[in-house]
Copies of this chain bind each other. A is one copy, B any other.
Amino acid sequence: MRPLRILETSLYAENLDDMQKFYCDIIGLELFSRVEGRHVFLRCGQGMLLIFNPERTQQANGSVPEHGTHGAGHVAFAIPAHELEKWRGHLQRNNIEIEKEITWPTGGHSLYFRDPAGHSIELATPQTWNFDN
């Protein structure tokens, strides 16, 4: 048995407003639900990006098991190669500093920048991992 795919990816931030604005308005994810002060859940393709306030989720609440991290995490989003130039311009127009660009031996290409919580966010073409698309 193997899982079908990764269904939920988590990041942690104390300021959920800033994160919701960033991931909806700049990255283009779809808001799924929000519990004030605790989490913002966002849809991305057939998966979910879950943003939690670790001050809330590190405490046992009788529902889901406790979790929560501190420090800069890392998430990458897949973008089609033909949109790379548009994304670069979009980030620049929104004053998001591109911290690094890498062209990989596979032919994939990655743009790195920071989200409002300081996580290292990447837009990468699927070729980075030898995926066709």
A residues in contact (CB < 8 Å) with B: 1-10, 12, 27-30, 32, 43-50, 52, 54, 58, 63-80, 83, 86-87, 90, 99-100, 102, 112, 114, 119-120, 122-124, 126, 128-129, 131, 133
Contact = CB atoms under 8 A, between A and B. Distances in A.
Contacts of A29: 2-3
A86 B1 contact: yes
A4 B83 CA distance: 11
B71 A58 contact: yes
A1 B76 CA distance: 15
B45 A4 contact: yes
Contact of A78 (B5, B52, B64, B69): B5
A6 B5 CA distance: 10
Contacts of A58: 71-72
Contact of A10 (B68, B73, B100): B73
Contacts of A126: 4, 7, 46
A3 B27 contact: yes
A10 B131 CA distance: 18
